[in-house]
């Protein structure tokens, strides 16, 4: 355990040994990293309640803050915050192409990764809570996939919870992966329409880029092939408050005059790679569909369901960008994912996933819960979120279209402050 200071904060690093499979506590262990953050003027207080932050993803590490910034500034007024690198991410025991190769063949890797969903993350959190807080329950803030984890927490370990805040992360309790993507494609199409209404010239640029990619074998700086389908995946950007503007600026820098005619600029290709690459977060690709699986295989749901929406075909015009979807061809194109393709196929075919939510327990919930539900959220379905909100006893919602999915990050603490007020009865 080591500590250091930033402007206005004291940070302490923690490492915890946890079972790979909580059903086998005597079996193999992995390490989970977490960083404690406390306001500098409260560092010596022992009565501050803990707030566990569960990051979105899956497969993304927790934030690396510098001082009191964003939502953290509001949280530090009342809490000692724990930023958890969920298993397999950040400084926790890694799960990527090199580390997974040491586990064994694809079947062994798939068995290993089946222990990396919300149910395991919650059980990690409970072991950590008991080590840091003893018998005292703690507060939890879950963003996006972190909200899914918080809902699992409410289902299976509510005794560990003092209060829960969820931002853009109320899952469909019994929604299949097919249900999720069948609802998602129309939302993504609507975001495309909004983007083209704001930037009407982007449709022509996107069509020009698609034509260029259709005729050439274009590679990103890291070696991944940039196909039309990969280019369409930039639509992931449309789900954040400033993402559409960033996409516009990206497109306007696409072409320059080359020796043999127009060619894509290095700057454009480098930015595309930054948005589309999985080197830093391979679990995002590997587990993106399994996080929805309960008792049945996902079988590459986003790819299958896409066939129901022909307007997303690469040859259609205007070219529609896709969204938060993972496709099997990504494991062929991306060098960091290519060694994991067979593993991903085995995860897609696995049909014995345990349930992640307990509807009966949620109906009887007595933990104070508040959730920000973003009306225009591209990533998490509004209808499913509201159904789940109604199914959790005592949950208070704040429905808003002031923010997109990244409201917690960009609101300078206003979203978290509103949820704290809802739980405390002051809002």
The dihedral region occupied by 86, where left means phi > 0, alpha psi between -120 and 50, and beta the remainder, is beta
User: Cα torsion at 282, 378, 306, 211 (round to 10°)?
Assistant: -80
Q: What distances in angstroms separate CA 201 from CA 129, 175, 214, 239, 403, one per listed residue?
A: 52, 37, 20, 20, 25
Backbone angles phi, psi at 390, to 5 degrees: -70, -20
| The total number of residues written for the chain in this structure | 427
Backbone angles phi, psi at 101, to 5 degrees: -60, -30
- Reading the block at residue 331, the tokens are 């494991």
Residues designated catalytic: 144, 377, 405
Cα–Cα dist 356/171, whole Å: 10
Please give the distance of CA 217 from its chain centroid, rounded to a whole number.
31
Cα–Cα dist 386/389, whole Å: 5
Question: Rg of the Cα trace of the chain?
Answer: 22
Q: What DSSP string describes 330-350?
A: HHHH-TTTGGGHHHHHHHHH-
**Helices marked H in 140-289 — which ranges?**
145-156, 177-198, 202-215, 228-232, 243-252, 266-276, 282-287
């Amino acid at each position: 355990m080591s500590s250091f200071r930033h402007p206005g904060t004291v940070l302490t690093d923690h490492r915890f040994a946890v079972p790979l499979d909580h059903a086998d506590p005597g079996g193999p262990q992995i390490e989970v990293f977490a960083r404690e953050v406390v306001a500098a003027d409260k560092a010596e207080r022992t009565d501050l309640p803990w707030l566990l932050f569960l990051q979105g993803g899956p497969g993304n590490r927790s934030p690396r803050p510098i001082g009191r910034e964003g939502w953290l500034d509001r949280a530090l007024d009342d809490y000692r915050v724990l930023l958890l690198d969920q298993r397999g991410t950040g400084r926790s025991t890694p799960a990527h192409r090199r580390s997974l190769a040491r586990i064994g063949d694809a079947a062994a890797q798939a068995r290993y990764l089946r222990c990396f969903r919300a149910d395991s993350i919650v059980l990690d959190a409970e072991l950590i809570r008991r080590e840091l807080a003893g018998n005292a329950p703690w507060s939890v803030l879950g963003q996006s996939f972190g909200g899914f984890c918080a809902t699992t927490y409410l289902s299976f370990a509510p005794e560990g919870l003092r209060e829960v805040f969820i931002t853009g992360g109320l899952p469909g309790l019994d929604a299949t992966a097919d249900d999720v993507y069948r609802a998602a494609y129309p939302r993504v199409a609507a975001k495309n329409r909004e983007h083209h209404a704001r930037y009407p010239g982007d449709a022509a640029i996107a069509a020009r880029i698609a034509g260029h990619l259709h005729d050439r074998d274009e590679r990103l700086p890291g070696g991944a092939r940039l196909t039309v389908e990969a280019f369409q995946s930039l639509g992931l950007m449309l789900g954040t408050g400033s993402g559409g503007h960033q996409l516009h600026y990206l497109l306007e820098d696409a072409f320059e005059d080359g020796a043999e005619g127009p060619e894509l600029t290095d700057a454009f290709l480098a930015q595309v790679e930054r948005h589309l690459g999985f080197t830093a977060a391979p679990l995002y690709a590997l587990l993106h569909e399994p996080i929805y699986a309960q008792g049945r295989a996902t079988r590459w749901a986003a790819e299958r369901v896409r066939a129901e929406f022909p307007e997303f075909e690469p040859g259609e015009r205007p070219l529609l960008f896709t969204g938060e979807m993972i496709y099997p061809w990504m494991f062929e194109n991306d060098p960091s994912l290519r060694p994991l393709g067979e593993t991903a196929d085995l995860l897609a075919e696995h049909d014995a996933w345990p349930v992640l939510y307990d509807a009966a327990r949620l109906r009887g919930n007595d933990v104070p819960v508040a959730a920000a539900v973003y009306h225009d959220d591209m990533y998490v379905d509004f209808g499913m979120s509201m159904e789940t909100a109604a199914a959790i006893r005592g949950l208070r919602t704040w429905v808003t279209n002031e923010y997109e999915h990244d409201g917690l990050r960009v609101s300078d603490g206003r979203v978290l402050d509103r949820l704290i007020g809802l739980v405390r009865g002051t809002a």
